[in-house]
């Protein structure tokens, strides 16, 4: 199963909202994944297939083996949908 991290600065509110929205989009795509929300410093040492975060935080995650997917508006379902469709393949 895919492992996906949703990441914000503190790992609290916005990453949780992004996690719920990502789970909804993945469900619509028929993709099962283990989605976890966390902060940027914890994410750098966690194992994952994909990391979904903002453009600003993506720079801190360069060098991570996970593919980093950029979503700048964590509330915009269209942007999340497009980002996931462009970057995540069903396994």
Decide if pLDDT at 91 tops 60. Answer: no
From the list 5, 7, 8, 68, the catalytic residue is 8
- DSSP assigned state of 61: G
- What pTM does this model have? 0.94
The pLDDT tens digits of the residues spanning 37-68 come to 999 999 999 999 999 999 999 999 999 999 99
Active-site residue flag, 8:
yes
CB 8 within 8 A of CB 51: no
What's the rounded mean pLDDT across residues 14-23?
97
Decide if pLDDT at 89 tops 90. Answer: no
- DSSP assigned state of 51: E
């Amino acid at each position: 199963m895919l492992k996906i991290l949703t990441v914000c600065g503190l790992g609290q509110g916005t990453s949780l909202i992004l996690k719920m929205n990502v789970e909804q989009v993945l469900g619509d795509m028929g993709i099962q994944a283990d989605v976890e929300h966390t902060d940027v410093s914890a994410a750098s040492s966690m194992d994952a297939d994909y990391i979904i975060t903002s453009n600003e935080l993506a720079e801190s995650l360069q060098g991570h083996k996970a593919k980093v997917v950029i979503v700048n508006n964590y509330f915009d379902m269209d942007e999340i949908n497009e980002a996931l469709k462009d970057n995540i393949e069903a396994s």
